[in-house]
Amino acid sequence: MQDVTDLRFWRLLGRYGHADAYVTEYIRVYPHSRVDKDIRQDILLNDTGCPVIAQIAGEDVPSLARIAEGLQSLPVAGIDLNLGCPAQVVCRKHVGGALLKDLSKVDEILAALRARITKVPFSVKCRLGYETASDFEKLLELFSRRRVDWVTVHGRTVRQGYGGRADWDAILRAAESLNCPVVGNGDISDPVQAARMLEETRLSGLMIGRGAVRNPWIFRQIRQARDGEPVTLPTGREVLTYLYAIKEMTSIVEHSRGESAHVERSKKFLNFIGAGISGEFLYRTRRARTWTEMEAAWKQYLDMERPYSLIPEG
């Protein structure tokens, strides 16, 4: 997730229960580009104890192959092609999810990357399609033919963005049909349900983005559920401590731009977190302009011992 899931956030997650692996922000690839220096540093300085997978996004085939080959000299556990980003600023450049409009182009990219990525696993993250899921089966056939090592499927089309509900039936069909491991993604908020999905289906794993920002305890909670243990919920005050940790983390990035920029930066995280608390909390934090206003809202809703599931309503 751009501007969110960098090394600082991986380290923060480690306080609450780390993931099994992390994926970098996407490395934008185009002619003459290099690996973004901040992402390169995140890879080189990774001290979380968890492997890191480098994510690339682009449509220029020679450039993608060149960057993929260079990434294999860094300490990465794999290279992942982004075929799912729905952001219009990305799709307008015909990369990310926009590539799903042209499966012949996807095939060309897969073939080139499969030939060049030989030292680490090669994976793909995709959506069900661009406008509709009508070509999803054809997309899965490409993944099988090009011998992708594993695939993450987000259960929405690109046009859906993050609206509606992820189609987990489609994700599970992919897990049944592909000849490689499949990881499910989309709307993963309930740790008990997530654990059941891992136990009862052919999924090889789950990728959690927004849900992990909202609830950094979720990885530990899923492990508890899989082990048959009660799921431990954080109290309001523990969530409050997490928010102060986000304030501290984002201050490193925004320290030179003033209070307003720092408050706005924190909202990249709070927009996800607020959905697991209440609509009123989300309303207050989105409209805060100073840290005095922001922290007053935090304390009003969270300065208590009440446990929070952090699962969004509806």
CA dist 180 and 247 (Å) reads 40
The reply to whether 97 falls in a domain is yes
The label of the residue with tokens 């993944």 reads 143
Name beta bridge partners: 23.
Answer: 53
Kindly state whether residues 150 and 285 are assigned to the same domain.
no
192 within domain boundaries: yes
Question: Where does 21-164 have alpha helices with state H?
Answer: 37-44, 61-71, 88-91, 103-116, 136-145
Same domain (yes/no): 190, 271: no
The pLDDT value given to residue 21? 97
User: What burial class does residue 314 get, using C-beta atoms within 10 Å of its C-beta: 0-12 exposed, 13-18 middle, 19+ buried?
Assistant: exposed
The structure tokens listed for 283 are 């309303």
Structure confidence at residue 2 (pLDDT): 76
CA distances, 34 to each of 38, 79, 242 (Å): 11, 15, 34
Residue 132 pLDDT: 96
**HSE-CB for 72 with a 13 A CA cutoff:** 14
**154 in a domain, yes or no?**
yes
* Active-site residue (options: 50, 85, 126, 180): 85
295 and 146 assigned to the same domain: no
Domain boundary among 201, 226, 251: 226
Q: State the CB neighbour count (10 A cutoff) for residue 33.
A: 15
17 and 75 share one domain: yes
For residues 131 and 216, membership in a common domain is answered with yes
What is the value of pTM for the model shown? 0.94
Question: Residue 278 pairs with which residues in a beta bridge?
Answer: none
pLDDT tens track for 175-200: 999 999 999 999 999 999 999 999 99
**Is residue 312 in some structural domain?**
no
Amino acid 256: pLDDT? 66
**126 flagged as catalytic:** no
The domain tally of the chain equals 2
In this prediction, the residues of the chain whose per-residue pLDDT falls under 70 are: 253-256, 314
Give how far Cα 106 sits from Cα of 27, 102, 230, Å: 18, 7, 44
What integer pLDDT is reported at residue 1 of this predicted model? 75
Give residue 216's Cα distance to chain centre.
13
pLDDT value at residue 3:
78
The answer as to whether 53 is a domain residue is yes
111 with 146, same domain: the answer is yes
Same-domain check for residues 22 and 85: yes
Whether the CB-CB separation of 219 and 22 falls below 8 Å is answered with no
For 202-213, write each residue's pLDDT tens digit. Answer: 999 999 999 999
pLDDT digits (tens, 9 = 90+) for 18-42: 999 999 999 999 999 999 999 999 9
Which pairs from 224-233 meet CB under 8 Å and 24+ separation? 224/191, 225/191, 225/192, 225/194, 225/195, 225/196, 226/195, 226/198, 226/199, 231/191, 231/192, 233/307, 233/308, 233/309, 233/310
Residue appearing with tokens 């731009």? 257
Q: Where are the alpha helices (DSSP H) in 119-180?
A: 136-145, 168-177
User: Looking at the structure, do residues 78 and 211 belong to the same domain, yes or no?
Assistant: yes
Residue 90 lies in a domain: yes
- Statement to judge: residues 83 and 115 lie in one domain: yes
pLDDT at 255: 61
Q: Which structural domain, as residue segments, surrounds residue 262?
A: 236-302
- Rounded distance between C-alpha atoms, residue 206 and residue 180, angstroms: 15
Question: Which pLDDT belongs to residue 62?
Answer: 97
Q: Are residues 28 and 132 in the same domain?
A: yes
Q: Is residue 308 part of a domain?
A: no
Query: Residue 130 is part of a domain; what is its CATH number?
Result: 3.20.20.70
> Which of 204, 226, 248 lies at the terminal end of a domain, its last residue?
226
Tokens 């994700």 label which residue?
171
Whether 86 and 120 map to the same domain: the answer is yes
Q: Rg for the chain (alpha carbons), in Å?
A: 20
Residue 1 lies in a domain: no
Domain stops at, among 226, 261, 288: 226
**One domain for residues 222 and 245:** no
